[in-house]
Amino acid sequence: MARVLIVEARFYSHLNDMLLAGARGAIEAAGHAHETITVPGALEIPGAIALAAESGRYEAFVGIGVVIRGETYHFEIVAGESARGLMALTMDGLAVGNGILTVEDEAQALVRADPQQKDKGGEAAKAALALLDLKARFG
């Protein structure tokens, strides 16, 4: 049984609740354990995963969050840099799934957060577990 750490940026609680339900459901369906920690925003997710990875307590990680475009360039920074940070962790050999929604509006977020619709939380968890399987195969 693997221990999966979910790192959520709780910027929109109702959306995160759906994303977390999808991610947790996927992890439990695969027979693994999960723990969740919360950070202020998506920009803090990669750093939190890096810190947690150093503990050696977890075999896989899932980033969960929602970034909705506002009026300024900040959307590009938060969306792009959180994704870049997670990709850097993956390229460094960690099993990381990216469940950070980067969307234009809440309607787009709702469809993607809902486990009964696009289930991006569950998708991210499955991606992390797929990388964990590859680590076992190639490790």
Ligand X SMILES: Nc1c(NC[C@H](O)[C@H](O)[C@H](O)CO)[nH]c(=O)[nH]c1=O
Residue closer to ligand LTPLIIQW, measured from CB, 67 or 86: 67
Q: Which of 9, 48, 53, 127 binds ligand X (CB under 6 A)?
A: 9
Residue closer to ligand LTPLIIQW, measured from CB, 65 or 121: 65
Residue 77, SS3? helix
Which residues is 64 bridged to in the sheet?
8, 99
Six-digit token pair at 100? 């950070």
Q: Which of 9, 18, 49, 68 binds ligand LTPLIIQW (CB under 6 A)?
A: 68
CA distance 19 to 27: 12
Spot the catalytic one: 14, 32, 34, 74.
74
State the number of binding residues for ligand X (CB under 6 A).
12
Whose tokens are 């354990």? That residue is 33
Region of 12-20, 68-76, 90-98, 130-138 interacting with ligand LTPLIIQW (CB under 6 A) = 68-76
Q: Is the dihedral of CA 9, 12, 13, 18 positive or negative?
A: negative
Nearest Cα neighbor of 34 from 11, 64, 79 is 64
Region of 47-55, 69-77, 81-89, 107-115 interacting with ligand LTPLIIQW (CB under 6 A) = 69-77
